[in-house]
A and B are shown apart, each in its own frame.
Chain A
Amino acid sequence: MNTKTLALALATAATLAAADLKIPIERYTLKNGMRIVLSADNSAPVVAVYVIFGVGARSEEKGRTGFAHLFEHMMFQGSENAPKGVLDKLVEGNGGMLNGSTHPDFTDYFEVLPSNKLPVALWLEADRMRGLKITKENLDNQREAVKQERRLRMDNQPYVTAIIDNWPMLAYRNWGNSHSLIGSFEDLNAATVDDVARFFKTFYAPNNAVMVVAGDIQAAEAKKWIETYFADIPPQPQPKHPDLAEPAQTEARREVYKDKFAQVPAVVVGYTGTPKRRSPEYYAILMIDAILTGGESSRLYQGLVKGRQSAIQVEANLGWPFAGPADYREPAVYAINVVHKPNFTGAQLVAQVEEELGKLVKEGVPAAELERARTFLRAQRVGEMQSSYRRAGLLAQYELFDSNPDLVNTEMESLFAVTPAQVQAAAKKLFAPQRKNVLEIVPAPKAEGK
């Protein structure tokens, strides 16, 4: 093998990637331990404020499933100086939009506004971090909203209950990972005002938060507002991270779920024992994922949707269905979800997926195909950098999980450094038969649906 040429080709690719984009980053910590990342881009009159807390559904305790998400709803129910309704009214009434979402390992809140309205968002975020208004009335009301959300997004939909409630129970053994992230009605009913207050104090302290302000800002001015509003919010003892360790999987698992709403069968195939975030093996799996499912030239699309004509739709992710590469934190599962034609069985689809994975394990990946996957990932990254909201989100996740927001500029180099040999080795390790989990979702006739 001509290693010299290869090294040269890699260097060229990496240089190109670096020249693509340089997202400016200024990073500092307030005296209360709150981490701040500023990223100025004055080309469009838009600013995103993104506050992310290091707590998610995997920090929940037994008997309180769904609590992290219920709490997230409470963050929109009013604070010391911005009573219920004021947050939405001030953001939207100033031309912005806002939302929040709960993930396995973090919870995020954001506002995107026309840039001269930045101080309004900072004031609102500080006010709710300083003192949330927690009342029984608001809790009862949001409990109902969350139950409605569960009915809307899960209980009345095909596939979703199987994916959100059953898949983690199949793939994980540690309760922290396997419990329902949206929660049971029983546990939601059990949540008290005291639980909310305790959760707020423990996890929503400034030293457990990262705030990114990205877009059309003047850094000096932004810093002044941030200092004024946030710097004297008292810190709290650092919360403990839950022990999420999983035992190594020693034999394949399989479950069949009869879905009362699904009309078209689907199957999930996932592998446990995924590597440490940011390790060379992690980057190798991201390349594997691009090779398998990145666009219509990918192996699973060409192999299943086109070639065998068995699948209708294929998707996969490291951390599916709740996370992707940016917010992946081990332990997780690399899972492939296939919606397929009814004239094939779930077992046949699994065999076809395994055939494709086996080919990668046995034969590796040709250089040209790996290069195509690199270009695919590079284009994807450049595309998503256009919106200040997306930039802010990535910077926040990289600061929270890696203490290094500059990864947004440099991680492509780590991806491009992955060699065909590393791809093959990572595939061999990951796609071991004893690490396999299969969830077949089959349409159930109404009478026997569960």
Chain B
Amino acid sequence: MLDENLRQIEQELLRLPLRRPPDSLDQRITQAGVYALAARRRRRILFRSALCLVAAACLLAVAAVVDWRQPGGQQAGSVFPDGTAYIAPIQIEQVWSSVATEPDMLEGEGQAVRVQHHVVRQIRWIDEARNIRIQWDFPSVHTETMPLQYEQWPVEYN
């Protein structure tokens, strides 16, 4: 409890004319409210846009996973034809190599040449997850016989 003297001081203090806030303060507070409201709206719009983007990204990711797991698509893990298991992602390379023998002159009804083509189709899988490389060779030989008059081989391999 305050004594009488301090109460008197209190009363004197209450009687003192205070410096009043400038008239512009009300306007500034109102403006501040308007700006804050606008800022909050902007933040809400930004937040919703960000949410939409995240949702779209999630949908895309789900679609990609579904596609990944569909037959024919690259699977997250599977088995090669020889039974070797692999883990995606894998890289698939195909290499073709072709060697042709020297043309043999064929004697007979007419002059002709015969060429044997040795073609190797090589398929490689690289399993990055396990750092292994699997390779299959598919050799094939076929023979071309053609009249001598042809100067160009009719078969081309890329």
A binds B: no
Residues on B lying within 8 angstroms of A by beta carbon are: none
Residues on A lying within 8 angstroms of B by beta carbon are: none
